[in-house]
Amino acid sequence: MALPNISHDLLGAIGGVPRPDVDVVVDARDVNKWFGRLHVLKDVSIQVKRQETVVVIGPSGSGKTTLIRCVNHLEKIQSGRIFVNGHLIGYREAGGGTKLVEDKEKNIARQRQEIGMVFQRFNLFPHMTALENIIEAPVHVRGMAHDEAMVMGRALLERVGLAAKENVYPNQLSGGQQQRIAIARALAMKPALMLFDEPTSALDPEMIGEVLEVMKELAREGMTMIVVSHEMGFAREVANRVVMMDDGVIVEEGDPEHFFTNPTHDRTKLFLSKIL
């Protein structure tokens, strides 16, 4: 289906570009995170390259969601460093680089503009239509002209297969439709990175496929993505790399063929034996 006649810049947003500024989009180094006495992330290090899709799997409580929330500084780390698109996220270095000091909120907000996040629950504004949800941040955060945002928003709705739903409110949409709106809303900010936190876990089985198809298309177009998911079929088909977490550490990672046919770690073998 042909998209409307829009500018190259808007096409960039719709197609998952502009591309990140650096080859390594996410660079997490020795990250530690505690909730009280609970040590949730234990010296976690991971890199995600430009245009790479990394799927993170593991049992509940393994630290998967906490990791990506730290990437977006929705959770504060206690030690380590996380760089996104070449920038230290959430903090600035002090004491000659020996310690971290939390950055100003306006700087953190600006950094988050480079990161799109899609949650388990859709978090749409219930009092706004589908189109209004999509254009809210581009207009009020990025300062995009309203008319330009409307064109982009309609193109994004068409892109996720919901062009006919622009004036519909979230409570009139299915779960799968709401999640596709949430993806379009994240894309509207032209992110360098997309984070997905189990985006299909709250959906009825028949709605999962429509959301995964949008995500597959993003991966094919080269969007850099970290996906926390139990959808092993998606991981096999789309992931460049699969990462297994357990008890706050990365126990194994590799390409899908290796990971699913010849895992090396006993914990990975046990986990896969229970879900495949």
**143 confidence band (pLDDT: 50, 70, 90):** very high
Residue 21: the pLDDT is: 72
Residue 8: the pLDDT is: 40
Answer for the pair 116, 194: CB distance below 8 angstroms, yes or no. Answer: yes
**Segment among 21-25, 30-34, 126-130, 174-178 with least mean pLDDT:** 21-25
Beta strands in 220-268 (DSSP E): 225-228, 241-246, 249-254
Tokens 């040590």 locate to 39
**260 confidence band (pLDDT: 50, 70, 90):** very high
| pLDDT above 50 for 190 | yes
Query: Regarding predicted confidence, which is higher, 63 or 9?
Result: 63
Residue 19: the pLDDT is: 61
* pTM > 0.75: yes or no: yes
* Mean of pLDDT values over 106-117: 91
Answer for the pair 64, 115: CB distance below 8 angstroms, yes or no. Answer: no
Q: Give dist(CA 136, CA 153) in Å, integer.
A: 10
> Could you read off the pLDDT of 232-247 as tens digits, one per residue?
999 999 999 999 999 9
Largest CA distance in the chain: 55
Residue 98: the pLDDT is: 76
**88 confidence band (pLDDT: 50, 70, 90):** very high
Residue 14: the pLDDT is: 46
| pLDDT above 60 for 9 | no
* Mean of pLDDT values over 167-188: 96
| pLDDT above 50 for 17 | no
Q: Which residues contact 131 (CB under 8 A, 6 or more apart)?
A: 150, 153, 154, 157, 166, 167
Residue 94: the pLDDT is: 85
Query: Regarding predicted confidence, which is higher, 130 or 123?
Result: 130
Residue 231: the pLDDT is: 94
How far lies 26's CA from each of 19, 21, 22, 42, 55, in Å?
13, 11, 9, 18, 14
Residue 18: the pLDDT is: 52
User: What tokens appear for 113 in the block?
Assistant: 């503009």
Q: Give dist(CA 221, CA 218) in Å, integer.
A: 5
| pLDDT above 80 for 187 | yes
Residue 22: the pLDDT is: 80
| pLDDT above 50 for 58 | yes
